[in-house]
Amino acid sequence: MTDKIAQKIESLGLTLPDAPAPVGSYLNCVRTGNQLHISGGLPFTAEEKIQGVVPTETSVEDAQRGARHVVLNRLAVAKGELGSLDKITRVVSISGFVSSKPDFYDHPVVINAASDLLVEIFGDAGKHSRVAMGVAALPMNASVEISMILEVA
């Protein structure tokens, strides 16, 4: 059986990473009924870590790239739990947090990168509700953190 969503990700020139292990006292995801709640992920890959306050230490563009990394990272968690991303029937909601100073107001611009990627991957089923907010700091000095709620078959 072909995983159409994995193929879509590849067609966008992207790679799904291995799902990271939790780094604290929590689970990467919890399935309840037809929903998969995925814990917050950070913009860290094998090649880079996008860290620092936006926009003074990290540019908006780098933070947007980080938000896209987080989406792929969180989808890797979903694939590990479900076996196939084709079991995702809808992206219900994402919560996006941007490390920023009090006078930065473009949190939605950063998190739009995650939202847009989900729509690129899932089409209309990728459209979701959302929170985009600024915070004083994130774990491990990450620039962005995103959690997700997915509807699954």
- Give the model confidence (pLDDT) of 47-71 as tens digits: 999 999 999 999 999 999 999 999 9
- Residue 101 has a CB neighbour count (10 Å cut-off) of 12
pTM exceeds 0.75 for this model: yes
Instruction: For domain 4-152, give its CATH number from 2.60.40.790, 3.30.1330.40, 3.40.50.300, 3.40.50.2000.
Output: 3.30.1330.40
How far is the C-alpha of 101 from the C-alpha of 11, rounded, in Å?
A: 37
Neighbours of 148 (CB within 10 A): 27
Task: Please write the tens of the pLDDT for every residue from 89-132.
Answer: 999 999 999 999 999 999 999 999 999 999 999 999 999 999 99
- Residue 143 CA: distances (Å) to CA of 4, 11, 118, 130: 31, 27, 19, 18
SS3 category, 111:
helix
